[in-house]
Amino acid sequence: VVVQFTLTIALIIGTEVVYDQLNFMHNKRLGLDKNQVIVVPIRDQNLRQNPEPLKSRLRQHPGILDVGAAALFPGGPVGRTRFRAEGVSDEGTMSMLWVDRDFIRTLGMELVAGRGFSKDFATDATEAIILNQEAVRQLGWADPAAAIGKSFELVGSKNGRIIGVVKDFHFTSLHRRIEPVVLHIWRWLNYVLIRVDGSYLPDILDDLENIWHEFDPNHPFTF
């Protein structure tokens, strides 16, 4: 009887732990919206350097809400960079994401100060820097608005200026502490992020494959 009671209590506790973990995963705000976003690896070298024609073609489909691109897989590891920031005496290191102009909008990330990347500003490709809130806090600036316009150098890569600050977000595991991160536009992108209207699933997948093969007939369409 004692053994049975002990096993019952252990089962109840185990069930509670699983429930709490699932509840945490369900209710924890990611800071970005990965729902109904299809991530497709780019294998063609020319597409990696210029995915814009493909993105424009995808946007013509009525079931596609937005398209962005990134160098790293959302949910996977991030890069690291050395940086120098205006008003900060010491050089530091920070997590980094290489993205395109449409990445922030496609993943539904929230700007809390400044603006996002835009094709209306030609210098965004070479100079624009966006930080998250945690980066602003660790750099000691009063608030996100105080960061806008400050110079920010990615050592050995880019002399930039901060144009925006996004709300903190979980790019990898929900159970990992949010770290400071810098986002900037990069010329070599390995993944296309396609936000779809859920009412078009699963039929839209065949359409995506057909469109993809218009631009890359030599590699299989995978996601």
Tell whether 13 and 114 lie within a shared domain.
no
Measured from the Cβ of residue 136, the count of other Cβ atoms closer than 10 Å reads: 24
Indicate whether 147 belongs to any domain.
yes
Rg (CA), the chain: 21
Tell me the three state secondary structure of residue 140.
coil
pLDDT tier at 4 (50, 70, 90 boundaries)?
very low
Per-residue tokens: 132: 């998250």
Tell me the three state secondary structure of residue 137.
helix
Q: What are phi and psi of 139, to 5 degrees?
A: -80, -10
Tell whether 86 and 115 lie within a shared domain.
yes
* Total domains, the chain: 2
83-101: pLDDT as tens digits = 999 999 999 999 999 999 9
Tell whether 78 and 7 lie within a shared domain.
no
Greatest alpha-carbon span in the chain? 75
Tell whether 7 and 64 lie within a shared domain.
no
Domain that holds residue 1: 1-29
Tell whether 62 and 22 lie within a shared domain.
no
Indicate whether 220 belongs to any domain.
no
137-172: pLDDT as tens digits = 999 999 999 999 999 999 999 999 999 999 999 876
Distance, CA of 101 to CA of 124 (rounded, Å): 8
Confidence (pLDDT) at 27: 38
pLDDT tier at 173 (50, 70, 90 boundaries)?
low
Per-residue tokens: 120: 């209306």
Tell whether 116 and 145 lie within a shared domain.
yes
Tell whether 190 and 113 lie within a shared domain.
yes
pTM, two decimal places: 0.84
Tell whether 135 and 42 lie within a shared domain.
yes
